[in-house]
């Protein structure tokens, strides 16, 4: 399971297939090695400025919301 304990049905990251998450992790690791870690540091700084979902902790921009509210 990922870092999040609870999964949100409105979240694209919570509902994606496992191979997709693995592929993204490999790509991010390759990018971090290629740029000597500067890409990882800048991504962490950007992640700190985004609003996160109270349920799953992923960025709110990855959620399918109607009128700015979570689907019931």
User: What CA–CA distance (Å, rounded) separates 51 from 33?
Assistant: 28
Q: Please report whether residue 1 resides in a domain.
A: no
Range of the domain at 55: 12-62
Q: Please report whether residue 70 resides in a domain.
A: no
Q: Please report whether residue 2 resides in a domain.
A: no
13 to 1, 33, 35, 64: CA distances (angstroms): 12, 24, 25, 11
pLDDT confidence of residue 64: 80
Q: Please report whether residue 7 resides in a domain.
A: no
Give the model confidence (pLDDT) of 25-56 as tens digits: 899 889 888 888 888 888 888 877 888 888 88
> pTM of the full predicted structure?
0.56
Q: Please report whether residue 72 resides in a domain.
A: no
Rg (CA), the chain: 14
Greater model confidence, 21 or 3: 21
Which residues fall within 8 angstroms of residue 53, CB to CB, at 6 or more apart?
8, 11, 59, 60, 63
Q: Please report whether residue 3 resides in a domain.
A: no
């Amino acid at each position: 399971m990922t870092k999040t304990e609870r999964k949100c049905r409105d979240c694209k990251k919570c509902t994606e297939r496992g191979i997709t998450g693995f592929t993204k992790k490999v790509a991010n690791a390759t990018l971090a090695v290629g740029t000597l870690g500067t890409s990882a540091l800048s991504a962490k700084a950007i992640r700190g400025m985004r609003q996160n979902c109270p349920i799953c902790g992923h960025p709110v921009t990855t959620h399918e919301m109607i009128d700015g509210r979570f689907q019931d």
